[in-house]
Chain A
Amino acid sequence: MGGDTKATGVSRRGFLASSASTAAVPLAAGVLGAGAASAQAPGRAPDPRAPVDMVLKVNGTDYRLPLDIRTTLLDALREHAGLTGAKKGCDQGQCGACTVHLDGQPVLSCLTLAVMAQGKAVTSIEGLEGRDGTLHPVQQAFIDNDAFQCGYCTPGQIMSAAACVEQGRAGDEAAIREFMSGNLCRCAAYPNIVAAVKQAAVVKTGRA
């Protein structure tokens, strides 16, 4: 199964990150994950459900978390790192509420396994605000344009909007609407979201 292959491959990476001084290191350098795991417990099948030590770099801080290999990045953030800004709206990549940035690119954290995010910079909504409390231009624009109602999809909308502006995709309203259409808003604040992205884009180009 694909999932199993992925899981073993990445557990090797987690193994390397957490136990660099053990005897398994020379083995692991040339052998696949299964070999590394079996070196851990000779003669016994590895427990696929055993927690794997992972290190996630979120908003500039390292989180060392022992996680079930099946844990999504979204659940790792919400249930293990205490960062509940990213929201679960479908858990299957349909709504966009869980959008975070991985090395600057917007990704659906519910479709990203936590192990896949290791070694990359994760930015969540909590990391957008400046340390002095200054809001990111997109956050301010969402307030100014009443670009949300219930606020549940908002962290995902803002992360997508920030990427939209950052990637220069906010040229006109049609382009913004297209870019932002992966983020569902059931309150339907869409026209205000477009207005907010436009405002933030002006702020950015004004600065540039």
Chain B
Amino acid sequence: MQPVPPVPPPMENMGKPDPRYEARSKVTGRARYAADEPVSNPAWAFLVTSAIAKGKVRRFLADEAKGIPGVLAIITHENAPKREKVAFFGDGGYVSTSLVPLQGPDIHHAGQIIGVVLADSYETAREAAHRLRVEYEVAEPVAGFRSPGAQTVELAAVKKSHKDVGVGDIDKGLADAAVTVDAEYFTPTQHHNPIELFSTTAVWNGDELTIYEPSQFVYSLKNCVARQLALPPEKVHVINPYVGGAFGSKGAPTQRTALVAALARQFNRPVKLVVARDQGFFITTYRAETRHRVRLGATPDGKLTAYGHEGWELTSMVDNYDVAGTENTAEMYASPNVWTKVNLVKADRNTPGFMRSPPEVPYMYALECAMDELAVALNMDPVELRRINDTMKSPINGAAYTSRSLMKCYDEAAAQFGWSRRDPRPGSMRDGEWLVGWGCATATYPTNMMPSAARVRLGGDGSARVQVAAHDVGTGAYTVIGQATAEFLGIPADKVVVELGDSRLPPGPVAGGSMTTASACSAVKVACDRIRERLGGSVPADPKALAGMFEKLKVGSLEEYAEWAPPGGEKGLAALHEGRMGGGSAERGGGTPKPAMFAFGAEFVEVRIHSRTKEIRVPRITGAFAGGRILNPRTARSQYLGGMIWGIGSALHEATEIDEKRARYVNANIAEYLIPVNADVPLVEIIMVPEVDTQVNPIGVKGIGELSNVGTAAAIANAVYHATGKRIRDLPIRPESLV
């Protein structure tokens, strides 16, 4: 199978590679992102954030700042408007952290919001924020895993719904093994760093509030802010048709929105806040650092006898955020004995949160590196080790996979990559001064769904309009929802108008968990099916025939509102209208045991490491993926492409550096927080393995936005081992790791 070109030809079980629905508005600068919204005479807000991680604000010296012409107010805990406390989203509430800023002098993490300056201009607000002096009472913070006083708690002890998954007897499995691996891995703090800055613009019209803010879940933001400001939810309107990248960072509402909205109400004026890049590192979420101990045991012919995985995840003092990736890794390979445990380590840090493939990236990194170590110990090809341990049913509860094309992905990607030419001996594939290494790893992502509603209207002229408060964060949601509507109605895609990203539309899924397509398009299908039924089964292609039918029905248009929930997830419909992630999200279908539903992929990379400078390059990377039905292979290919490049960043570049003494991020900017640039990415090849899955949902879609950045870092680390003979288990792998 050949790599897919940017405009893929039609392939099995895939839709048309239409260009993006909103393409023209994005290349002309007309696409209006939240901070682009013009508002009349706004007051500008600039945040004042804490210079210390733990302690108290003793007092503010504000005279100088207040004296600057144009400053309207300096808001601190001494005069801030009150907001109602809303629970942390991980506890069934909404907010990304339960810490309400400006409600007292206590400091719980570096960069905590301790003040807001309001001024007539952005320049004045910024100047005043910098001239506000703060006196602190400083206490010693816990920065991370290595800090004295860092407290470890078992996740199962603090989270009722969590159960460490396992089966069999790990000790017996290890004792029975001919070959074992026992290794520890580390993944660093990472920040999403979408290029769009976090921003909030709040405008009141009487008792109605309009919010312009980049959001992956406008219903959640609406309902959250309504509760924080004690308003009926219908009085809050969130508008956000375009999101300038999110990756999880704009999922759970942060505390800033209600604060900005409260100030706009108090000062009777629109308030606009564009959060500075450095402040964004502290007032939103991040991917927490993790530690892992992985134990594997296998028979001499490579069959796993034991898989043990203990994880440690950092969280804040105020909230217990977890990702618990062992739930997924335990399903990965056939092992009769599986033991897992997840721990949280509490630190004086802001609360972490979702970041693209939250559990899978760190946990699969550890497992896939350990699998490579096992292959080396067994003197076996790493692809063959995966084949021997491939399984069509869950090792934990025996549930059958609805489909699993893992080995097909391996075989297709291996053939394209030329894996058969690999000399397995470390350091054996030198090219002049460059050490060449080839590595591979598995990508996996669960098929998540949540309830969704949708409204579809078919006009007498054969055009249609589809409305759902889903979100296009760059994923192609506009395009595929439009294509799906066209397909389900049986009309051309260019006849469909798509409206997303507005809380006055029917509620849609969070742009997270890779579930927008499966969820929103399933609801769209229900609405479209009903419209076709009303027309006797199909929409006639002939405009005259269609007009005749409308005349007979005595209507100018046909409109259907539909709600859809995955099997077993019906109770989540009420939660959907309340914008809750808990309750209705991530249902995995009905039946007992619930079927195992995952997308899979296989990734192969070449690294080149300079023998003297240890500079590491990734000249090529090949990935093959199977994710059920692909609605648009062009946008899907871009998702895979971007994901694998994320994986390169995860392996070689990205890390938020932490001042261990002050619990502060020291590279809180997008130059020193390294992400891949164009020059880092020469050749990325994508293979789409056709896959038909009739069980996952009515449209056979698994969700792919978070698949391809899983496993990449392990494939690179494994290639680094192959190039050098050095096993680097801590990410990122930098030249200094190899000196």
Residues in chain A within 8 A of chain B (CB atoms): 47, 49, 68, 70-71, 75, 78-79, 82-92, 94-95, 97, 124-126, 128-129, 135, 139-140, 142-146, 148-155, 158, 173-174, 176-178, 180-195
A150 and B635 within 8 A (CB) = no
Contacts of B197 in A (CB 8 A): 88-91
Cα of A11 to Cα of B678 in the assembled complex, Å: 39
Q: Are A152 and B196 interface neighbours, CB within 8 A? A: yes
A81 to chain B, nearest CB (A): 11
Task: State the CA gap A58–B189 with chains docked (Å).
Answer: 42
Known contacts A146-B6, A150-B243, A191-B684; A88/B35 CB under 8 A:
yes
Residues of B within 8 A of A177 (CB): 678-679, 681-682
Instruction: Compute how far the CA of A70 lies from the CA of B70 in the bound complex, rounded to whole angstroms.
Output: 14
Chain A residues with Cβ under 8 A from B123's Cβ?
49, 68, 70-71, 75
| Chain B, 622-646, CB within 8 A of any chain A CB | 634-635, 637-639, 641-643, 645-646
Which A residues are in CB contact (< 8 Å) with B645? 188, 190
Q: Contact string, B243-281, partner A, CB cutoff 8 A, digits 1/0?
A: 111110000000000000000000000000010110000
Beyond contacts A85-B29, A143-B23, A192-B641: 7 other A-B pairs, Cβ-Cβ < 8 A, are: A146-B20, A148-B20, A149-B474, A152-B33, A155-B29, A182-B677, A188-B646
B195 at the interface (CB under 8 A from A): yes
B263 vs chain A, min Cβ distance (A)? 19
| Contact indicator per residue, chain B 565-592, by CB within 8 Å of chain A (1) or not (0) | 0000000000000000000000000000
Contact indicator per residue, chain B 31-48, by CB within 8 Å of chain A (1) or not (0): 111011010000000000
Taken together as a complex, chains A and B put the C-alpha atoms of A171 and B679 apart, in Å, by 15
Q: Are A95 and B19 in contact (CB under 8 A)?
A: no
Task: Contact check, B634 vs A146: say whether CB atoms are below 8 A apart.
Answer: yes
The minimal Cβ–Cβ distance linking B73 to chain A, given in whole angstroms, is 18
Of A89, A124, A150, A194, the residue contacting B670 (CB under 8 A) is: A89
Q: List the B side residues contacting A186 at CB < 8 Å.
A: 192-195, 245, 247, 675
A191's nearest neighbour on chain B, judged by CB, is B684
Contact B474–A151 (Cβ < 8 Å)? yes
Task: Judge whether B671 is part of the interface by a CB distance below 8 angstroms.
Answer: yes
> Cβ of B28 and Cβ of A188 under 8 Å apart?
no
Inside 8 A of B642's CB, which chain A residues have their CB? 149, 187-189
Question: Contact between B27 and A142 (Cβ–Cβ < 8 Å)?
Answer: yes
Residues of A near B194 (CB, < 8 A) are 150, 152, 186
User: CB within 8 Å of A: which residues of B?
Assistant: 6-7, 19-20, 22-24, 26-33, 35-36, 38, 68-70, 121-124, 127, 192-197, 242-247, 274, 276-277, 473-476, 634-635, 637-639, 641-643, 645-646, 649, 669-671, 675-679, 681-684
Q: Is the interface of B mostly helix, strand, loop or mixed?
A: loop
Distance from A135 Cβ to chain B, minimum over Cβ atoms (Å)? 7
Minimum CB–CB distance from B596 to chain A (whole Å) comes to: 30
A149 x B638 contact (CB < 8 A): yes
Chain B nearest CB from A69 CB (Å) reads 9
Q: Are B124 and A68 in contact (CB under 8 A)?
A: yes
Interface contact B245-A152, CB-CB below 8 Å: yes
Chain A nearest CB from B72 CB (Å) reads 15
Flag if B670 contacts A49 (CB, 8 Å): no
B473 to chain A, nearest CB (A): 6
Q: Which of B70, B195, B639 contacts A89 (CB 8 A)?
A: B195
Q: Tell me, in angstroms, the Cα distance from A149 to B27 when the chains sit together.
A: 11
How many residue pairs between the two chains, A and B, have CB atoms under 8 Å in the bound complex?
A: 194
- A139–B641 touching, CB < 8 Å: no
Pick the contact of B22: A91, A151, A192 (CB < 8 A).
Answer: A151
A91 touches B276 (CB 8 A): yes
A92 touches which of B27, B29, B646, B669 (Cβ 8 Å): B669
Q: CA A102 – CA B572 in complex, angstroms?
A: 54
Q: Report whether B676 and A190 are in contact in the complex, using a CB–CB cutoff of 8 Å.
A: yes
A78–B23 alpha-carbon span in the complex (Å)? 21
Shortest distance in angstroms between A62's beta carbon and chain B's nearest beta carbon? 20
Q: Is the CB of B195 within 8 A of A95?
A: yes
Contacts known (A186-B194, A188-B645); A193 close to B35, Cβ less than 8 A: no
> Which residue from chain B places its CB closest to the CB of A86 in the assembled complex?
B29
A125–B31 Cα gap in the complex (Å)?
12
Top 9 A-B residue pairs of the complex, sorted by shortest distance between their CB atoms: A85-B29, A152-B244, A150-B474, A149-B474, A151-B26, A188-B645, A125-B29, A84-B36, A188-B642
Decide if B31 touches A151 in the complex (CB within 8 Å). yes
A143 to B24, CA, bound (A): 7
Contacts of A185 in B (CB 8 A): 195, 678
Q: Are A190 and B678 in contact (CB under 8 A)?
A: yes
Which residues of chain A have C-beta atoms less than 8 A from B127's C-beta?
Answer: 70
Is A188's CB under 8 angstroms from B681's CB? Answer: yes
A184→B28 contact, CB < 8 A: no
Specify which of B23, B32, B683 lies most central, judged by the most chain A CB atoms within 10 Å of its CB. Answer: B23
Answer whether A152 and B195 are a contact pair too, CB < 8 Å, given A143-B23, A177-B682, A192-B641: yes
Task: Kindly provide the distance from the CB of B643 to the nearest chain A CB, expressed in whole angstroms.
Answer: 8
